[in-house]
């Protein structure tokens, strides 16, 4: 993981601040996370050995409400990465007008090397370590990379054991039978889909079948590919961590998705089958996929996939960030110079946290909505915020990422002002004039 990821992320704040009138108080509050927690998690392995894993939880800013953000299990998880993800979550929640601040968590581990029993003990051990740091009115975790409803269920169950009462609202993304929301599993992909439906026609010719390449075939990438396929898009390439497959005629996404899901080793935990095992398609590398001549490129994997080394070779007409931070700051400058627009992550992949918000609301009410209602509410929210972001981008003639941050900053500023700023207490504005 790039040690400068967090510093790189914060530059986006500086870019947006040039286009919006905000107080020094707001900028000062957003410079650093409100709180960080680093924990050691001892786990008794199945062979009797004791291993200690490192875990993290960062609450970035709670000006707009309790913090919200996922938990990821990955070998490259670091405090720098978690800081960055919590920073992005702060703006993502503000862009979607959710009453949350941003947070993130993770454990440095290769979860595919653990058995089910070890994964259960690790998940519960993490909650034991951070239980005083989270809560329905403080910080609400959710699934992220290599975590899923089952793991969220274990975590909610462990928190409830500690509290000696059932607390479904402490964690979202749970199994429906444990208070989870219908529509949560596909929420991130569906949010990306609604954003694409709103924006892609602005960059492509009408009547033309839109071609797409998707890097990453996990929960988000596979479900997005399926939604796009059903809507008539031509998905030409997909990939996972082992590489990808390509067809100039378009891929049979339902078949590929079914293959990936049917080759699970730890059922309901991780899909281990690779899309490269499919016969009849051309094998390509992840780097090759990024350089395909398609209308839309969707990075849906890890951070920093498009860098200054490969940005000049990108041939897509538009990039939609389904992953968090897939484009480095330097690479984005290259893309901007080449006229390749980027739909930013803090808008495009916000469907997950939006439905997590719906789940939290349902848990607090004790009343649950139909999947049809969830989809309708998600579409309405994603479409409206996309329109508002686009209006800012076009009126100010700025990139969509900057416009999204401007949109979010306006909302964060309102919450900061409500508490009183330097201008309020001194009666003097930035120009030294009385107000």
> How far apart (Å, rounded) are the C-alpha atoms in residues 302 and 300?
7
First to last CA, the chain: 47
Q: What are the tens digits of pLDDT across the range 298-319?
A: 999 888 899 999 999 999 999 9
Please determine whether the domains at 33-177 and 187-348 fall in the same fold group of CATH: yes
> Mind listing the pLDDT tens digit of every residue in the chain (435 residues)?
445 678 877 888 888 888 988 888 898 899 999 999 999 999 999 999 999 999 999 999 999 999 999 999 999 999 999 999 999 999 999 999 999 999 999 999 999 999 999 999 999 999 999 999 999 999 999 999 889 999 999 999 999 999 999 999 999 999 999 999 999 989 999 999 999 999 999 988 766 789 999 999 988 999 999 999 999 999 999 998 888 899 999 999 998 888 777 755 433 444 455 666 665 688 899 999 999 999 999 999 888 899 999 999 999 999 999 998 899 989 999 999 999 999 999 999 999 999 999 999 999 999 999 999 999 999 999 999 999 999 999 999 999 999 999 999 999 999 988 888 777 778 766 666 655
CATH classification number, 33-177, choose in 3.40.50.10860, 1.20.990.10, 3.90.420.10, 3.40.50.2300: 3.40.50.10860
Question: What does the pLDDT read at residue 160?
Answer: 98
DSSP string, 214-249: EE--SHHHHHHHHHHHHTT-EEEEEEETTEEEE-TT
> How far apart (Å, rounded) are the C-alpha atoms in residues 7 and 124?
32
Question: What does the pLDDT read at residue 61?
Answer: 96
Classify domain 187-348 by CATH architecture: 3-Layer(aba) Sandwich (3.40)
Q: Are residues 212 and 236 in contact, defined by beta-carbon separation less than 8 angstroms? A: yes
Question: What does the pLDDT read at residue 275?
Answer: 65
> How far apart (Å, rounded) are the C-alpha atoms in residues 224 and 188?
8
What's this model's pTM, rounded to 2 decimal places? Answer: 0.90
Helix, coil or strand: residue 16: helix
- Helices 149-163 and 116-130 pack at an angle, to 10 degrees, of 50
Show me where the domains of the chain are located. 33-177, 187-348
Catalytic residue status for 291: no
Question: What does the pLDDT read at residue 6?
Answer: 82
Active-site residue, from 68, 104, 174, 260 = 104
Nearest-10 Cα torsion for 43, 48, 49, 53: -10
DSSP string, 283-331: EE-HHHHHT---SEEEE-S-SS-B-TTTGGG---SEEE--SSS-B-HHH
36 token code pair? 């960080």
Environment class of 430 (CB within 10 Å of its CB; exposed 0-12, middle 13-18, buried 19+): exposed
Question: What does the pLDDT read at residue 429?
Answer: 64
Nearest-10 Cα torsion for 220, 223, 224, 225: 120
Question: What does the pLDDT read at residue 194?
Answer: 97
């Amino acid at each position: 993981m790039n040690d400068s990821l967090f510093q790189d992320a914060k530059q986006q704040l500086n870019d947006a601040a040039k286009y919006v009138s905000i107080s020094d108080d707001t900028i000062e509050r957003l410079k650093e996370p409100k709180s960080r927690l680093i924990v050691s998690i001892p786990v008794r392995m199945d062979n009797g050995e004791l291993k200690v894993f490192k875990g993290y939880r960062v609450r970035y800013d709670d000006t707009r409400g309790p913090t919200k953000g996922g938990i990821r299990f990955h070998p490259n998880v670091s405090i720098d990465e978690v800081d960055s993800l919590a920073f992005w979550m702060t703006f993502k929640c503000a862009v979607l007008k959710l009453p949350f601040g941003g947070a993130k968590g993770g454990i440095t581990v290769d979860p595919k090397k653990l058995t089910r029993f070890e994964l259960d003990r690790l998940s519960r051990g993490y909650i034991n370590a951070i239980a005083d740091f989270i809560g329905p009115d403080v910080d609400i975790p959710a699934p992220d990379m290599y975590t899923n409803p089952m793991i969220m269920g274990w975590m909610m169950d462990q928190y409830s054991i500690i509290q000696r009462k059932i607390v479904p609202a402490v964690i979202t993304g749970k199994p429906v039978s444990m208070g989870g929301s219908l529509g949560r599993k596909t929420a991130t992909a569906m949010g990306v889909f609604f954003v694409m439906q709103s924006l892609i026609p602005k960059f492509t010719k009408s009547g033309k079948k839109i071609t797409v390449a998707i890097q990453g075939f996990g929960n988000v990438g596979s479900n997005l590919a399926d939604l796009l396929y059903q809507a008539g898009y031509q998905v030409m390439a997909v990939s996972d961590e082992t590489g990808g497959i390509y067809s100039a005629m378009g891929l049979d996404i339902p078949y590929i998705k079914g293959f990936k899901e049917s080759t699970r080793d730890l059922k309901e935990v991780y899909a281990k089958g690779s899309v490269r095992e499919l016969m009849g398609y051309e094998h390509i590398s992840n780097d090759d996929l990024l350089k395909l001549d398609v209308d839309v490129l969707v990075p849906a994997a890890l951070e920093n996939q498009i860098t200054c080394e490969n940005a000049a070779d990108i041939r897509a007409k538009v990039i939609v960030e389904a992953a968090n931070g897939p484009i480095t700051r330097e690479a984005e400058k290259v893309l901007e110079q080449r006229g390749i627009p980027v739909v930013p992550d803090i808008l495009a992949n916000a469907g997950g946290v939006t439905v997590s918000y719906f789940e939290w609301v349902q848990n607090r009410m004790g009343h649950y909505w139909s999947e049809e209602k969830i989809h309708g509410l998600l579409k309405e929210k994603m479409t409206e915020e996309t329109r508002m972001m686009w209006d800012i981008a076009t009126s100010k003639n700025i990139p969509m990422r900057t416009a999204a941050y401007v949109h979010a900053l306006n909302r964060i500023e309102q919450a900061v002002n409500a508490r009183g700023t330097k201008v309020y207490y001194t009666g003097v504005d930035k120009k030294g004039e009385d107000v």
